[in-house]
Amino acid sequence: MACVGILSCGLYFGRVLVVLMESKWLTLGFTSAALATVGALVIAAPARAATLQHWWFDAQTNQLVFTTDSEVQPRAQLLANPTRIVIDLPNTQLGNTTTNQAVGGAIREVRVGQFDRQTARLVIEIAPGYSLNPQDVRVQGVRPNQWAVQLPAPRPGSAPAAGSIPAPSASANRVEGNTGTGAAAILSGVVATGDGFLIRLSGTAPTPSVQFTRDDADNRYAVIDLPNTAVAGNLRPDDLPNYRYSVVTWDVAQQATTPPSTRITLKLGPTSPDWRALRNSSGVIVLPPSGVPISSVSDEPPPLATAPSSPPTTTAQAPPPARPAQPATPPPTRSVEPPATPPELPTVPNGRVVVVIDPGHGGRDPGAVGINSLQEIQVIFPISLRVRDLLEAQGVTVVMTRQENVTVDLQARTALANRAQANLFVSIHANSISLSRPDVNGIESYHASDTGQRLAATLQASMLAATGMRDRGVKQARFYVLRHTDMPAALVEVGFVTGAQDYPRLNDPAWREIMAQAIARGILQYIQQGL
C-alpha cells in the first residue's frame, strides 16, 4: 500500500478487519513533502456517538492515553510549522474532562476541545526548536474505546525525518475448518490470563502435545495438537488474543482426521519462551516453562515481517512429560469489555448469610492518590456499592461499614461487623506507589488467618478471571480490620491508581462494573463451597 500526502489505512476492532496485523503498534509515517501539508491516519467513524471520558499525558513515558464511553476509531495527524500531533475522534463529544495540561520541556502542552459538533480533538504541541521523527510515533489500540499515542523523545531540529507506513498484511490470526461436530471436545475460544493463555473447551478436554519448529525465514512456531477436538462454528480470528506475551499470531485449524483433531500454531516473537500446555478442568492452559515468571514475557511484538501463507508442516510428537495441573485463571484479555449479558452469579444455599462490605477510607481520608489526582475513594466506593447490590440480588444480607463519603475509624468498622455476627468480611481498597513507578500494576488479596486465606484466594482467582490483570498474589498481613474481625476476613486491592496499566481501568466505570461482579462472584463462590 502506497501512502503519500493523506495516508489512509483501515483499522477496526471486534469483528472488523485490522490491516496492520504484524505489529502491535501502528506507525505514523510521512514524507517530507507530506509534512508540509498534513499526513493523516484515516479511520471510519463509529456508528454510535461516543463521549470522551478522560485522558492524560504521562511526561515520564511520553505517552498520551484517552478513553471514551464506547468504541472509538480516531484520526491521527502530524502537522508541521509548528509541529504538533492532532488526534480527532469522529462522532465523539467532549465529556466532563480536563481541557489542557501543561507539560513543559520538548512537549509544550496537551489540550482537548470540541473541533465541531461531531468531533472531539486532542492536540499535542511540540515546543519550538524540537521535532519528531514520524516513523517513531506509534498509536496503539488498547481496546475498542481506548487508545495510546506513544511519542519518541523529541530532539532539537526544525525538520522531522521522512518516514513511511509499512505495507499491511491481510490478516493476523486465522481459524479454519470450524465444523464444531464429531469430537469429544469443542474449542470455543482462547483468552489471555494472568499466567499465560487458556484454551477454552467444552466436553472432555484432551491431553495436548507441544512441539517447536521454524520455517525457511527462521520464524519460530509452537504447535499445540489437541486430539479428538473440533473448532466451534462461531469462533472468529478476532476472538483470539492479539500480541499478548510475545505471541504474534494464532492459527487454529481443524484437521481432517477421524475423530476431528485441532492444531494450534503460534508464531512466536524473538523473546517468547518455549510454552508448555497442560490439561485442566477449564480446558487447556498454556504456560511459560517452570521457573519463568509471566511478568518477564513482554507483550511487545517483533518487527514487521512477511507472514507465511500457511503454518509450517510439522510431525506429531508425543506430549511432554506430565506435570501437576496448575489452577487456571481464565480472564479475557487486558482489553476487557463488559459482556452484553453478564454471566449469572452463583446461587447461595438457603438460609441467612451476612456479609460485611467495607469500602476503605472515606471522608477526610481519600486514600491513595494517583495519576491525574485519581483518588482511591473515587474507585472503591462505587465498586463497593455495586457489590452490595449484586449480593442482595442473590439473597445475601449485606452490611456496609459506610454508605456515604464519611470518615469511619478502623475500630468502628470491625465492631460493626462483629455486632452483626457476619459470616464474612471483605474490605475493598485500591493500591498505590510512587508516581515515578508507573510500571507497578496488578491486584492482590490479603488475609490474617487461616479462615481468611481461602476467602482471599477465592476473591483473587475471581478477579483475575474477570479482568486479566497482573497477579500480585494472595498474601498474609496484619491489617487491623483483618485481625479484629471474628469471621473470615479478606482485604482486596483492585489495582494501582499510580499504575500506567491500572489507572485507565480504575478510572473507567465499565471496568469498575466488571470488578464489582468479580468480587461478588468470588464471595458467592466462597459461600457455595461452605462457610
Task: Output the pLDDT for position 190.
Answer: 87
Pick the closest to residue 473 from 488, 463, 482, 484 (CA basis): 463
pLDDT at 304 over 60: no
| pLDDT number for residue 157 | 61
Q: How high is the pLDDT of residue 315?
A: 40
Residue 28 has pLDDT above 70, yes or no: no
Contacts of 105 (CB under 8 A, 6+ apart): 59, 127
Considering only residues 48 and 457, tell me which one the structure prediction assigns the higher pLDDT: 457
Maximum mean pLDDT: which of 49-53, 136-140, 141-145, 490-494: 490-494
Question: How crowded is residue 168: how many other Cβ atoms within 10 Å of its Cβ?
Answer: 19
Confidence of residue 333 (pLDDT cuts 50, 70, 90): very low
- How high is the pLDDT of residue 338? 43
List the catalytic residue out of 71, 444, 493, 513. 493
Least confident of 133-142, 313-322, 377-386, 392-401: 313-322
- Tens-digit pLDDT profile for residues 232-281: 887 888 778 877 788 888 899 898 888 889 999 998 887 788 899 998 77
pLDDT at position 175: 86
Write down the number of H helices and E strands in the chain: 7, 30
Q: Which residue ranges form the domains of the chain, and what is each CATH number?
A: 26-156 (2.60.40.3500), 174-296 (2.60.40), 354-529 (3.40.630.40)
Q: Are 124 and 151 in contact (CB under 8 A)?
A: yes
Q: Read out DSSP for 48-103? A: S-EEEEEEEEETTTTEEEEEESS----EEEEETTTTEEEEEEETEEE-S---EEEE
The predicted pLDDT at position 20 comes to 32
Structural contact between residues 305 and 261, judged by C-beta atoms closer than 8 angstroms: no
Strands 92-94 and 119-126: unpaired
The whole-number pLDDT of residue 496 equals: 94
Which residues, in sequence order, are CB contacts of 111 under 8 Å at separation 6+? 99, 100, 101, 122, 123, 125
Confidence of residue 228 (pLDDT cuts 50, 70, 90): very high
With a cut of 90, say whether residue 414 has pLDDT above it: yes
**What pLDDT score does 497 carry?**
93
Question: Residue 168's pLDDT band (boundaries 50, 70, 90)?
Answer: very low
SS3 125: strand
Alpha-carbon distance 418 to 489, whole Å? 11
What residues form DSSP beta bridges with 445?
Answer: 474, 492
**Separation between Cα atoms, residue 160 and residue 368, nearest integer Å:** 41
pTM for the predicted model, two decimal places: 0.41
DSSP letter assigned to residue 29: -
Q: What local confidence, expressed as pLDDT, does residue 329 receive?
A: 34
The pLDDT of residue 96 is above 80: no
Per DSSP (E only), the strands in 318-423 are: 354-359, 397-400
Enter the C-alpha cell of residue 422: 457476619
Query: Grid cell 481501568 — which residue?
Result: 505
Q: Is 446 helix (H, G, I), strand (E, B) or coil?
A: strand
Q: What is the mean pLDDT of residues 487-504?
A: 94
Task: Give the C-alpha separation, 411 to 432, whole Å.
Answer: 24
Cα–Cα distance for residue pair 395/353, rounded to 1 Å: 8
| Cα(514)–Cα(352) distance, integer angstroms | 26
pLDDT of residue 298: 73
Span of 26-30, 390-394, 402-406, 523-527 with lowest mean pLDDT: 26-30
Average pLDDT over residues 428-438: 89
Per-residue pLDDT at 33: 37
> Phi, psi at residue 131, to the nearest 5°?
-140, 165
| Residue 42 pLDDT greater than 60, yes or no | no
Could you tell me the CA-to-CA distances from 183 to 186, 277, 286 in Å, in that order? 7, 20, 21
Alpha-carbon distance of 416 to 438, in angstroms, equals 36
What's the rounded mean pLDDT across residues 435-456? 91
76 pLDDT higher than 80: no
The pLDDT of residue 299:
66
Residue 34: what pLDDT?
37
> Could you tell me the CA-to-CA distances from 465 to 195, 251, 330, 522 in Å, in that order?
10, 24, 5, 10
pLDDT, residue 43, reads 36
Cell reading at 159: 525538520
Q: Helix, strand or coil for residue 195?
A: coil
**How far are the Cα atoms of 19, 222, 259, 303, 421 from residue 219, in angstroms, in the given order?**
21, 10, 31, 12, 61
User: What are the grid coordinates assigned to 191, written together?
Assistant: 483468552
Residue type, 177: G
Q: Establish whether 109 is a catalytic residue.
A: no
SS3 content of the chain, % helix, strand, coil (to 5): 20, 35, 50
Distance between CA atoms of residues 359 and 379, nearest Å: 10
Give every CB contact of residue 156 below 8 A, 6+ residues apart in sequence.
129, 130, 131
Instruction: Please give the DSSP secondary-structure letter assigned to residue 136.
Output: G
Whose grid coordinates read 499510580? 498
Average the pLDDT over 275-299 and give the result: 82
Residue 145 in this model has a pLDDT that exceeds 60: yes
